[in-house]
Amino acid sequence: MESPTSAASRVDFYGFLDRMRRPEAAGLFRSIKSFLASLSLEEPSAEADGGRVQAFFAEMEAAIRGHPLWADATHQEIDHALEGLEKYIMTKLFDRTFVASPEDAAADAEVSDKIGLLQRFVRPHHLDIPKVLNNEASWLIAVKELQKINSFKSPWEKLLCMMSCCQVINNLLLNVSMTNDRTPSGADEFLPILIYITIKANPPQLHSNLKFVQLFRRETKLVSEVEYYLTNLISAKMFIINVNGQSLSMEESEFQKHMESATLGTQMSVAGPSSPQGLATSTRGLQKQIDAEAGSRFPFMDSETENLTPAELKQLHGLYRKTVTRYTLLSKALRKLSIDEDQLLASVDDS
């Protein structure tokens, strides 16, 4: 299948632009300009814009089919022109139509946060993925394809990222069924893997990307196989939003416990002075940071005991209480995450 970045699709697009610059195309070009101008006068609304853009695509399709510049064009050449048109229009309208409302932005954040938590504890067996289909290498390719979704602004290119991801999964299923002489189980295996890949990938702005493709991909092209695979990704999103203990074959209380510790883990990694980036990149840097902080937060580190005034002793005792409370909480949090405290400390010391 054609990749969105392939030379062929770039040539299509520039071919379209070239043709549009010809004097004979002036009429078409004027239609495009006036459509964009008229839309800019309307209050932005993704759904209403979707309807207007689809009507314009249909109108332009008829105009291009009847235009002398495409008089001898093959079906494919006309199709390329229409792809070019879609890309041109939607690139111009991207800022207006993609994540068009605060609700969309909130929905994106909700999905992404949820996935962030699920990533920490959902394993293939929770979704009924048989062991024989566990293939990290294939899965990683599928994940990467899905994550490319925001590299493109046209609905077709975004859709191609989703299709490529699905194709990688399909190839895996077919290869496994052929090499193991195993009956392929169709959607019983495809959907669980797609959901798992979606969780692993946490594709950026998943809700908005799906909505954008549904509203602005040319309607006549959102059919058959493409529609089927898009529906699968929509249902993966829906599964993730509504996930509970039952949908992962665990007790609701166990699920809640997982979600709580995942939340705790996420908070720890975004807040606090010892971020995981600090741990991973340079422990020496971390040590420096601790020393610097020690000056302001722990002012008695270098003091001599006999020189302390009663007031300072009181302050020291207060600090001691705070430190102990904080340490107790941190220990508890680490246990919840099943992290061994001593091992963690040893890993920081190993520099």
Partner 1 sequence: MGCSSSLPANSTGGLGNINNENSATDSKNLKVKLVLLGDSGVGKSCIVLRFVRGQFDPTSKVTIGASFLSQTLALEDSTTVKFEIWDTAGQERYAALAPLYYRGAGAAIVVYDITSAESFIKAQYWVKELQKHGSQDMIMALVGNKADLHEKRTVSSQEAQEHADMNNMFFVETSAKTADNINQLFEEIAKRLPRPTPPS
- Quote the CA–CA distance of 56 and 39 in Å, as a whole number: 11
Task: Out of 3, 112, 185, 274, name the contact with partner 1 by CB under 8 A.
Answer: 185
- Quote the CA–CA distance of 125 and 250 in Å, as a whole number: 11
Q: Is 170 in the site for partner 1 (CB under 8 A)?
A: yes
Query: Tokens representing 127?
Result: 């979704």
Q: Do 66 and 74 touch, CB atoms closer than 8 A?
A: no
Q: How far is the CB of 12 from partner 1 (least distance, A)?
A: 12
Q: Cβ-count burial of 265 within 10 angstroms (0-12 exposed, 13-18 middle, 19+ buried)?
A: buried
Task: Out of 169, 206, 210, 286, name the contact with partner 1 by CB under 8 A.
Answer: 169
Task: Out of 6, 101, 235, 282, name the contact with partner 1 by CB under 8 A.
Answer: 235
Task: Out of 23, 68, 102, 186, name the contact with partner 1 by CB under 8 A.
Answer: 186
Q: What residues from 134 to 163 belong to the interface with partner 1 (CB under 8 A)?
A: 163
Q: Is 242 in the site for partner 1 (CB under 8 A)?
A: yes
Q: How far is the CB of 175 from partner 1 (least distance, A)?
A: 8
Q: How far is the CB of 270 from partner 1 (least distance, A)?
A: 31
Q: Cβ-count burial of 187 within 10 angstroms (0-12 exposed, 13-18 middle, 19+ buried)?
A: exposed
Q: Do 336 and 261 touch, CB atoms closer than 8 A?
A: yes
Q: Is 6 in the site for partner 1 (CB under 8 A)?
A: no
What DSSP line would sit under 268-311, residue for residue?
Answer: HHHSSSS-HHHHHH-HHHHHHHHHHHHHHH-TTTT--GGG--HH
Q: Is 228 in the site for partner 1 (CB under 8 A)?
A: yes
- Quote the CA–CA distance of 167 and 2 in Å, as a whole number: 12
Give the dihedral of Cα atoms 71, 75, 76, 77; nearest 10 deg.
10
Task: Out of 226, 240, 259, 262, name the contact with partner 1 by CB under 8 A.
Answer: 226
Q: How far is the CB of 341 from partner 1 (least distance, A)?
A: 36
Q: Is 206 in the site for partner 1 (CB under 8 A)?
A: no
Q: Is 224 in the site for partner 1 (CB under 8 A)?
A: yes
Q: What residues from 55 to 114 belong to the interface with partner 1 (CB under 8 A)?
A: 75-76, 79
Number of other CB atoms surrounding residue 201 within 10 Å: 22
Binding site for partner 1 (CB under 8 A): 1, 75-76, 79, 127-128, 163, 166-167, 169-171, 173-175, 177-178, 183-192, 220-221, 223-226, 228-229, 231-232, 234-235, 238-239, 242, 246-249
